[in-house]
């Protein structure tokens, strides 16, 4: 892990620890990379409860409770699905906060309406849902990395507001 990502993950962990809050993740296009970045910090077991890699729509629906209608009407790559994934991870793992990532890492799978690199990131907390949309221009590996880092930044912004 490079220094910037490592420092961001470490700061996020310190902020969670200071508040006594716990964290979960729900990942699709990042395939576990976000959880990897979080658990790369020594002591992360104090605040990180775990995560779900819900790559298929069926897993999003069955494990995280993403409504079937949301997946049909909005699609797996949408703010609605990202928010539902984060809410589902928070509920499933009983945490104070949860992050989610869903998108199209590429190089295939894009459409004119939802291009390769389109990613939605969400954070769920008690009574609060925050989401961001990004469109990355990298290759698959770069898009996954940028998405995981953006999720950490979203969490950091939420914790420092």
Share of the chain above pLDDT 70, in %: 99
Q: Could you list the pLDDT tens digit for every one of the 161 residues in the chain?
A: 577 778 889 999 999 999 999 999 999 999 999 999 999 999 999 999 999 999 999 999 999 999 999 999 999 999 999 999 999 999 999 999 999 999 999 999 999 999 999 999 999 999 999 999 999 999 999 999 999 999 999 999 999 98
Nearest one of 53, 52, 29, 27 to 109, comparing CA atoms = 29
Is the domain spanning 3-160 CATH 1.10.8.590? The answer is: no
Euclidean distance between CA atoms 137 and 67, whole angstroms: 30
Number of other residues whose CB lies within 10 A of the CB of residue 25: 31
Whole-model pTM over 0.75: yes
Domain boundaries defined on the chain: 3-160
Amino acid 19: pLDDT: 96
At CA 84, angle to CA 81 and CA 87, rounded to 5?
A: 150
- The sign one gets for the Cα dihedral 66, 69, 74, 75 is positive
């Amino acid at each position: 892990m490079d220094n910037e990502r490592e420092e961001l993950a470490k700061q996020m962990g310190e902020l969670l620890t200071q508040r006594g809050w716990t964290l979960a993740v729900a990942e699709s296009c990042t395939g576990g990379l976000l959880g990897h970045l979080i658990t790369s910090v020594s002591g992360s077991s104090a605040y990180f409860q775990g995560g779900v890699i819900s790559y298929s729509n069926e897993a999003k629906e069955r494990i995280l409770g993403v409504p079937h209608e949301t997946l049909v009407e909005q699609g797996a790559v949408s703010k609605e699905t990202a928010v539902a994934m984060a809410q589902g991870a928070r509920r499933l793992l009983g945490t104070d906060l949860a992050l989610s990532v869903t998108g199209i890492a590429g190089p295939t799978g894009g459409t004119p309406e939802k291009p390769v690199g389109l990613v939605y990131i969400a954070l769920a907390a008690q009574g609060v849902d925050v989401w961001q949309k990004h469109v990355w221009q990298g290759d698959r590996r770069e898009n996954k990395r940028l998405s995981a880092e953006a999720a950490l930044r979203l969490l950091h912004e939420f914790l420092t507001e």
